[in-house]
Chain A
């Protein structure tokens, strides 16, 4: 009886979905989650439905499988305008522009037990065998170090910032972390929350978002503001962008006013992410300036979209705290980011070599679903 009531109530709750966004689907996914019948899960652990939006690159297929296995039961996957990755049994697909009904149906079926929870795809085991060589089976010499199971044991390392040597920690982040642009995958060595080194493993997926003055600025703000804890303001911006693209009039003055009082600009540290003499704060100021202009005019598209060959994203992130790094990454549009993250042979090599050496804290390389949802 109690369970039946619980199920009825849970079935009426918004469906928690985690979007794994492929090429060209970022704006559509952003718009989709403005719908009150869905909740955009910040972590795959909070989701019941994995929504794969758009085509998945071949390199990302393994990440999709891992992401799926990290989702807790009951769970399901919906392929929205996407081709299911092999190994998914009886995949549910949806090619409509608005998949909310399909997501809701799957969610309700899961809750009511009409639909079975999807089983694991990958084996739940470490990626590498235990390679301990110390006296007590640990990885390295003495009591520390080494790479048991292909994951480095904590070892202090030199620090970039203040000389306080902490345990260096290397892990891959992306390609579907919600606060990074879809497709971007980095291998990051952290001490505390300071990035010591970052390596590009995969560039962001191309989004082919046509440049459109105010709309572009609003969308950029919608993605940037949650990092400053301004989720509601972000929703306001994304809704305005959607309305504006649909040709409806919106009140831009109100958005500017709210953002002014939120202290968003003052919260951004100056001088971070400097590319061509503009830092993160100036780029955000440019978006705000674009709200002043006419919808089609606005900021100079060519200035923000020009290829920025000399700068590299990984160099901009070095020595930055995690949240500053996330601000930097999100201050660029996808095209600029791709030009800052050149696909070089070395990147693919780095990934391969890292796997061989087992030098990475390998959330990525191992099949288990019981570890590191956040890494993917």
Chain B
């Protein structure tokens, strides 16, 4: 019964999150640019309508099926990833013993979805965006695995519900603050944002989106926002205690925490500079990956000695 409830809540959660993310995306850049704040619900809707009306775009000999499927795959991965997140005690769409593994699979398949999107356009700049994303996305996902295992260690379980329950004494963000930051970076990478937007950046004229318009661009945009919501909910669950919190119902706590992470991610996407891909690769492989591994060791030692 609770699972049915969770399955019904999931699309609503995703939809509300997408709307919130779209509004934030309109509100935060002017704020960073020092302009007056104009948060509106109408703005994103008019832009979406404008996109829905145009042609979708065509190149010479594109891989049409992949081109259509890539945004759908991306959106689906966001939804499946969200399905392991418990909305309230016992209310989870996919209560798996290895929920973290399912999430990890969604992460890695995102690389495939983004690559397909750039590849299938049969055009130089989208293709460069696609290759770049694979180069950066791969080590970024690897990193997230270490971070997630470190978060799962105290729970001694790969089930997301157990990971939440294990945070009753102390949230994972306290146990491994650096892991939280690394996971936020992964969130930027999964949702192609700011410092980790190597697939659709300005220097590639929109990268994998350079050849698309109309409804195709609209779906890609929605899929990116869906992934942002999904990764925010996952961050809130794994590091901020998910539905845990005093007074208010668990679901409200999850929504509040997810919203908070959403704001942080959208803000970080606007505020921090993006390294050229080669430099970013060095940073991830030589600094961040060893760091995440050390943190995993640290959590293990802590649990062995005091756990």
Contact = CB atoms under 8 A, between A and B. Distances in A.
B107 interface: no
A31 interface: no
A88 interface: no
Interface string B41-65: 0100111011011111111100000
A45 B57 contact: yes
Interface string B259-294: 000000000011111111111000000000000000
B29 interface: yes
Interface stretch (A53-61, A208-216, A257-265): A257-265
A72 B45 contact: no
Given A48-B54, A193-B131, 4 more contacts: A177-B205, A229-B201, A232-B30, A236-B33
Nearest to B200: A42
A231 interface: yes
Interface string A179-202: 100000000001011000000000
Interface stretch (B120-128, B150-158, B238-246, B296-304): B120-128
Interface stretch (B97-105, B207-215, B226-234): B207-215
A43 B49 CA distance: 19
Interface string A28-52: 0000000010000011011010000
B29 A231 contact: yes
| Chain A interface size range | 35 or more
A226 B270 contact: no
A170 B279 CA distance: 25
Interface string B4-48: 000000000000000000000000111011110010001001110
30 contacts: A9-B45, A9-B49, A10-B46, A13-B46, A16-B50, A42-B202, A43-B210, A46-B206, A48-B54, A73-B54, A111-B53, A177-B205, A229-B201, A229-B202, A229-B269, A232-B30, A232-B32, A232-B33, A236-B32, A239-B33, A239-B34, A262-B271, A263-B272, A266-B273, A321-B277, A323-B201, A323-B203, A323-B276, A370-B58, A373-B59
Contacts of A262: 271-273
Given A10-B49, A179-B202, A326-B203, A374 B33 contact: no
Interface in B186-220: 194-195, 197, 201-206, 209-214, 217
A261 B273 CA distance: 9
Nearest to A126: B60
B205 A43 contact: yes
A182 to B, nearest CB: 14
B132 interface: yes
Given A14-B47, A229-B194, A232-B33, A321 B59 contact: no
Interface residues of B, number: 58
Interface string A307-325: 0000000000000011110
Contacts of B49: 6-7, 9-10, 13
A324 to B, nearest CB: 5
Interface of A: 6-7, 9-10, 12-14, 16, 36, 42-43, 45-46, 48, 72-74, 111, 169, 171, 177-179, 190, 192-193, 226-233, 235-236, 239, 254, 258, 261-264, 266-269, 321-324, 326-327, 361, 368, 370-375
A46 B53 contact: no
A10 B52 contact: yes
B59 A371 contact: yes
Interface of B: 28-30, 32-35, 38, 42, 45-47, 49-50, 52-60, 122-126, 128, 131-132, 194-195, 197, 201-206, 209-214, 217, 269-279
A262 B273 CA distance: 5
A370 B59 contact: yes
Contacts of B35: 235, 239
Nearest to A264: B273
B124 A267 contact: no
B210 A374 contact: yes
B272 A42 contact: no
A191 B131 CA distance: 11
Contacts of A177: 205
Contact of A10 (B53, B124, B128): B53
Contacts of B54: 48, 72-74
Given A171-B124, A227-B202, A42 B210 contact: yes
A360 to B, nearest CB: 12
B59 A192 contact: no
Contacts of B38: 36
Given A43-B206, A72-B57, A235 B279 contact: no
Nearest to B28: A232
Contacts of B202: 42, 178-179, 226-227, 229, 231
The 3 lowest CB-CB distance pairs between A and B, nearest first, are A229-B274, A9-B49, A371-B60
